[in-house]
Amino acid sequence: MLHFLPPYCPEGNWIERLWWDVHANVTRNHRCKKMEALMAEVDAYLDARNTQKTASPLLRAAPARRAA
């Protein structure tokens, strides 16, 4: 069964939810002066998230959308 999605549908795309989670928790309002420091913070955050047993609210399944 095919499920047609709009051309841009961040709620239906898992990687978009992952980017939202990283942005909300690491990259928004960071104070890193070098890209290496920012990437180290992203790596540390992703390592910590991978050890947790529950998903971030941003990564949980998107609510079902009603057809227009």
Answer yes or no: is 47 within a domain: yes
Q: Residue 68: its pLDDT value, please? A: 46
Answer yes or no: is 2 within a domain: no
DSSP annotation of 24 reads I
- pLDDT, one tens digit per residue, over 12-68 is 778 888 888 899 999 998 899 999 999 999 999 999 988 887 776 666 655 555 454
Answer yes or no: is 35 within a domain: yes
Q: Residue 35: its pLDDT value, please? A: 96
How far is 58 from 55, CA to CA, in rounded Å?
A: 8
Mapping DSSP to helix (H, G, I), strand (E, B) and coil, where does residue 27 land? helix
Q: Residue 58: its pLDDT value, please? A: 61
By residue range, what is the domain housing residue 42? 10-51
Q: Residue 53: its pLDDT value, please? A: 75
Q: Residue 52: its pLDDT value, please? A: 83
Q: Residue 65: its pLDDT value, please? A: 52
Answer yes or no: is 61 within a domain: no
How far is 42 from 35, CA to CA, in rounded Å?
A: 10
**Residue 50 near residue 18, CB atoms below 8 Å:** no
Answer yes or no: is 15 within a domain: yes
